[in-house]
Amino acid sequence: MDQKKYFLIGIGGAGMSAIALVLKGMGNQVIGSDIKKSRYTAILENEGITVLTGHKSSNLGDSDVVVYSAAIPADNPEMVEAKKRNLCLLGRSDILAQILNSKKGIAISGTHGKTTTTSMTSLLLRGLGVDPTIIIGGELNELGSNARVGLSEYVVAEACESDGSFLKYKPFISLVTNIEDDHMDYYKDYSNLKKSFMQFISNTQQHGFVIINGDEVSLEQNTLQKILRYGFDPENDLCAQDIRFADFGSTYLLAVKGNDDRKLKVRLNVPGLHNVKNSLAALSVCHCLDMDLKKAAGLMQFFTGVKRRFEKKGERKGAFIFDDYAHHPSEVKATLEAAVLEKKNRVVAVFQPHRYSRLSNLLGTFGQCFTESDLLIITDVYGAGEQPLPGVNGKAIIDEIIEEGFEKKLIYIPKLDDVTRYLDTNIKEGDMVLLMGAGDITRVTEELLKRE
């Protein structure tokens, strides 16, 4: 890619800030704007990237290329000015495609597990002496950031399926963690979603690799690429055996098909069965690249997690406060199942639904995913720019759960400030408090821990 001056609209988002860091690391001039400052904008400014607060046409200056996030509306003044001046105008996915397709791209997709799997893969490759470029949708603890520019031919990137833009990528390795109902505002039905993932797989370079969760993803076509399957079923190419949980982590034996005499011990310092699967996916990438699997297995213990993925934020009144990004029913269920393995007293779950369309499409499934909680608080919906839908609110989840026969304590508290006050009054020593959602629920965590 030729060196240019890039202007990024919405630069403070998780995905856009990662692109900004990589573009800057590749020697380009980078500037951008966002509505407000954030943790990500602080990281950017620390790297010498100017972040302007607010959107106005004069911000563009003498930029050559304008990049926008999917959340930016067409009437944004910087978008309007870019079109008026006939500047090169690209979506975030267009830039990611240019970066990913120009090297040996490792694109990690799936309904959930993308960020953690991408982060684990990045850690392993770096530990094995590879220096990949990394583009993640979350902040990797080991990096203190969500992106970096590497010197090798490899790029490890999270490939989001939400709007179909991942079909622009032509990776050397395509990885699919799972395929479940989500983003139906775009796909309309599961059949279209599945077709999109199959197209993503077929876009893999001819002599590359396809890695799938063999327990959950089935291929309905022959491919020209080598296919590797991972999971708990012993028929998979990589399989986890003798899984044991303790101290917010786990151990298991890694079995590789065709090598029955050799099982490698893996230790994880992140909780839950879902993270065992995420680690299998990352180890599968190393196996495809013919890297030292024994060393890779040993490196897994150094993965300490991603921001807002079962992240312990502190303690309040003897209760342990955790922050988690879970917003799909399967993610919520996995987080609560991980929590119950470690609980000392109650599991107190606070869930903020994310998007009216998701709640409407998955309401019945949401009614069944909270069974491991002892106390459940539901807030109102974080719309993420969507307009409300009639009858679709946090109370709808409460009604659905009651219909499912939930017998534990269940409370509807629409406003986050009221949630903070309720928790501060009612949590007990030894409680594990999980604040879950992809919206601004993390505000409760911050306010709770700041209280005198």
**Catalytic choice (158, 161, 311, 372):** 158
Sign of the alpha-carbon torsion through 383, 389, 390, 393: negative
352 SS3 class: coil
Give the integer Cα–Cα distance in Å for 422 and 11. 35
How buried is 116 (Cβ within 10 angstroms: 0-12 exposed, 13-18 middle, 19+ buried)?
buried
How far is C-alpha 60 from the chain's CA centre? Answer: 30
Give the integer Cα–Cα distance in Å for 214 and 227. 10
The CA-atom distances, in angstroms, between 305 and each of 29, 251, 310 are 31, 16, 8
Q: What spatial distance separates the first Cα and last Cα of the chain, rounded to whole Å?
A: 52
Nearest Cα residue to 186 out of 198, 196, 201:
196
With b meaning 16 or more CB within 10 Å and e meaning fewer, what string describes 38-56? Answer: bebbebbeeeebebbeebe
Give the integer Cα–Cα distance in Å for 238 and 227. 12
Give the integer Cα–Cα distance in Å for 339 and 373. 9
Is residue 446 annotated as part of the catalytic site, yes or no?
no
Is residue 115 annotated as part of the catalytic site, yes or no?
yes
Give the integer Cα–Cα distance in Å for 379 and 438. 13
Q: Are 137 and 160 in contact (CB under 8 A)?
A: yes
Q: Are 146 and 139 in contact (CB under 8 A)?
A: yes
Give the integer Cα–Cα distance in Å for 132 and 105. 10
Q: Helices 394-403 and 356-366, interaxial angle, to 10°?
A: 10
Q: Which helix (H) or strand (E) holds 428?
A: none
The CA-atom distances, in angstroms, between 220 and each of 208, 285, 399 are 18, 22, 38
Q: Are 22 and 3 in contact (CB under 8 A)?
A: no
Nearest Cα residue to 148 out of 306, 23, 15:
23
Give the DSSP letter of residue 242. Answer: E
**Catalytic choice (111, 115, 116, 420):** 115
**Catalytic choice (24, 114, 277, 307):** 114
Is residue 114 annotated as part of the catalytic site, yes or no?
yes
Q: Which helix (H) or strand (E) holds 409?
A: strand 409-412
Report residue 196 as tokens. Answer: 């999109």
Q: Which residues are catalytic?
A: 114-115, 158
